[in-house]
Amino acid sequence: MLYSVIMAGGTGTRFWPLSRRKNPKQVISLAEGPSLFERTVARLKRLVPPERTYVVTRAELAPTLRALAPQLPRENVIGEPVGRDSAAAVFLGASIIAHKDGQAVILVSAADHLIAPAARFRAAVRKASGLARHGFLVTFGIPPTRPSTAYGYVECGAALPGVAGAFRVRRFHEKPSSRTARRYLRAKRFFWNSGLFVWKAATILDAARRFAPEHFAAISPLGALHGAAGFQASLAAAYRKVNRISIDYAIMEKARNVAMLKADFDWADVGGPLALRRCMKADGAGNIHIGLVDLLDSRDCVAVSGDDRLLALFGCEDLVVIQTPDATLVCPADRAEELKKLVSRLDARSDTAEFL
């Protein structure tokens, strides 16, 4: 059977000041409609029933996510005591699911992606599940539409026979320079790394045993403890024994049984404010605006008013402006992906950390 693990522990620093630690981007409505987390849960409901859907998040965010998705069993929303990146979250979810179902296939997704159409996505997951049952660790590769430096890339190798759009993975690549990204686009064998995965619980845990033995030793026993009274204490003890590492570094770049399925659905990682350009309709001057905003003689700007105050831009071009009740951001659009630098600086100051 198919299960789902949603990773929802991010702090959304690249969407500051709209996104905060206690109210990150996955739980707020960046445009009209449900939050990104609610959209993710809704997208999966025709693939995986609530009782087979798990969420791994920060402990302080777990009550909020439970309230946003009351259809999920309370114990299926798991709060991590400290952040240990995606490898720990993946192994935790797989350990819990493997204890319940030794033949389980797992879809791993993030809570801050926009994917459409849902029917095409579901069909792709079912195709990936077939590969997973044959022992592959499957990732989805997004055909690049521009030479983006915001994403990592997957380089595909030989086609897998009998499965249209499936390839062995030759190599994973970190976020490239502009020049390298242009070369990737011309080569046509490089795809954006979506961060979406499908695999058998047993396959990913076997990979953890081989390539991340400390994580495996600390986290795999938690599967049998999930739902018991001492689970949270055991989880905290286990997380103290492991380091921060992503699933790409821990497993995907080392394993040989990695396959890529070419995505035929639309995908956007809502990493920062520029992602709004890909999921909202711009006005005639290329501006994206949310809230009480007025723009005159301005073009290609992203303007967000997160309160009842008027935000007005006059004679501006290629700016990101985000206004909240207690903080305002103004930055060139071409530097919006670097906002983590600013957030780190504010975090280090004694007089501004409270605004994060």
Fold classification of 2-271 (topology level): Spore Coat Polysaccharide Biosynthesis Protein SpsA; Chain A (3.90.550)
Residue boundaries of the structural domains of the chain: 2-271, 274-355
Low-confidence ranges of the chain (pLDDT < 70): 30-32
**80 beta partners:** 58
CA distance 177 to 77: 38
Characterize 103-133 residue by residue with b for buried, 16 or more Cβ atoms within 10 angstroms of its Cβ, and e for exposed.
ebbbbbbbbbbbbeebeebeebbebbbbbbe
Q: What is the pLDDT of residue 356?
A: 85
Angle formed by the axes of helices 85-100 and 201-211, nearest 10°: 130
- pTM of the predicted model as reported, rounded to 2 decimal places: 0.91
What is the C-alpha end-to-end distance of the chain, expressed in Å? 41
pLDDT for 31: 63
Distance, CA of 83 to CA of 89 (rounded, Å): 9
Q: Are 217 and 132 in contact (CB under 8 A)?
A: no
Which pLDDT score, from 0 to 100, does residue 61 have?
95
What pLDDT score does 23 carry?
85
